[in-house]
């Protein structure tokens, strides 16, 4: 049985990197896993500045319901926290993080080396304890995470038990 992976991270208007990292993971793992993405069915119109979901205007309820549904069904969640280090709040990603910690899932985190997740550098010298404690693995780049998953997914889906 193929594992299901959810790709959690910021979705900012006109930010190609928010889409690009997901597309690279989807391409690298095609056929080996089931991928759930918060971008599924969504399309951004740069002329109007509006998002649609499967042809309908998006709503807060539609977005939140779909994303929570995906987190709840995933065996693995990849969290891209790079936008947090850039100062983008990424509230949706943090909510998905919290939701995922209530379940037994593998949580792979992409976070910049200097990202602490807090401003309290006098007390915490490293990554925020909630991220450090709940992350299965932490990667500095999306490429590093993608390459790890491409190698390791065969172990997780039972194709390479050694």
Output the pLDDT for position 150.
Answer: 94
- Percent pLDDT > 70 in the chain is 93
Output the pLDDT for position 120.
Answer: 53
- Compute φ and ψ for 12, nearest 5 degrees: -105, 145
Output the pLDDT for position 74.
Answer: 98
Q: Is the pLDDT of residue 14 over 60?
A: yes
Q: Which residue has the tokens 């991220």?
A: 131
The residue ranking higher by pLDDT, 33 or 127, is 33
Per residue in 98-145, pLDDT tens? 999 999 999 999 998 777 666 655 555 567 788 889 999 999 999 999
Give 18: exposed, middle or buried? Use CB within 10 Å, 0-12, 13-18, 19+: buried
Q: What gap in Å lies between CA 112 and CA 127, rounded to an integer?
A: 10
DSSP β-bridge partners for residue 45: 50
Count of residues in the chain: 162
Q: Is the pLDDT of residue 46 over 90?
A: no
Cβ-contact 76, 156 below 8 angstroms = yes
The sheet that has 42-45: what strands, in order across it?
A: 42-45, 50-53, 56-57
């Amino acid at each position: 049985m193929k594992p299901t992976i959810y790709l959690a991270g910021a979705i900012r208007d006109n930010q190609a990197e928010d889409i690009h990292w997901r597309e690279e993971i989807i391409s690298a793992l095609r056929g080996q896993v089931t991928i759930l993405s918060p971008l599924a069915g969504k399309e951004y119109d740069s002329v109007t500045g509006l998002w649609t979901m499967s042809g309908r205007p998006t709503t807060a309820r539609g977005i939140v319901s779909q994303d929570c549904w995906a987190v709840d069904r995933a065996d693995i969640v990849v969290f891209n926290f790079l936008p947090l280090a850039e100062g983008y709040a990424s509230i949706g990603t943090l909510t998905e993080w919290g939701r995922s910690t209530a379940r037994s899932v593998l949580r792979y985190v992409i976070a910049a080396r200097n990202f602490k997740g807090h401003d309290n550098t006098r007390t915490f010298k490293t990554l925020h304890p909630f991220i450090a404690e709940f992350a299965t693995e932490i990667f500095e780049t999306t490429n590093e995470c993608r390459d790890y998953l491409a190698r390791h997914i065969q172990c997780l889906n039972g194709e390479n038990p050694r």
